[in-house]
Amino acid sequence: MEARMAILILHLIAMVFMAAPFYALTTVNERVRFYLPPNYNTDRYLENVIKRQPVRCYAYMAVILATGIWLVGARGWIWTDWALIIKLVSFALLVSLLSYIHFSIQPRIEQIIDKCHPGEDVPAADKPALMRWRSRRKRLAGVCLFLVLTAVVMGVRVTFGYAPWLAAVFLVASALFAWRAYRTPVRLGWF
């Protein structure tokens, strides 16, 4: 019993650390408050913070996958719980979206920023492309946040077995929160 509890706690801690999409959205929304056009100094700082997040996320997801497999194997059910299936699908989508952001979108943003030197603005010809790639990354971060929250809700559902209608309520609340974090700076946390 203690081994299962230790694995469960490790699994939950790794899930908590997967709050990266939320903090990426927070960072991006706070960038807007600078009221500056894209330039090397602020953008290089912002991109350095954001571009390193996926590597951390991959490490946390590896722990989540390993401990999740152990927890599922210890319980003896693999594909018999709908909440577990939803959790696995959201996990797979999260890995896929994170990989798309890290290996496709981020390098394109880096190419544009790398054309600048300290103290310079992003060239006018590159600003639309930069804003387009950032906008796509931000939208996908909102989706990733929803997927993380979905995995948490379904993981708690698998562990404690609460009513399906309550899981649906939590998913709607998660979607609304992810939408809000995507649209506006979240200055007071939940509120």
68 assigned to some structural domain: yes
Minimal CA–CA distance to 98: which of 52, 152, 66? 52
Please enumerate in sequence order all residues whose Cβ is within 8 A of that of 64, keeping only pairs 6 or more positions apart, or say none: 11, 14, 15, 18, 91
Q: What is the mean pLDDT of residues 87-94?
A: 95
Which residues form the domain of 93?
Answer: 2-183
Buried b or exposed e, range 129-162, using 16+ CB within 10 angstroms: ebeebbebbbebbbebbbbbbbbbbbbbbbeeee
29 assigned to some structural domain: yes
Name the E strands within the chain.
Answer: none
188 assigned to some structural domain: no
110 assigned to some structural domain: yes
Say what the pLDDT of residue 103 is.
Answer: 96
Cβ pair 67, 7 in contact under 8 A = yes
Say what the pLDDT of residue 42 is.
Answer: 78
CA distance 110 to 101: 12
Select the more confidently predicted residue: 81 or 28.
81
Q: At what angle do helices 53-75 and 40-51 cross, to 10 degrees?
A: 20
Q: Is the per-residue pLDDT at 34 higher than 80?
A: no
Tally of domains in the chain:
1
Rg of the Cα atoms in the chain: 19
Q: Is the per-residue pLDDT at 92 higher than 70?
A: yes
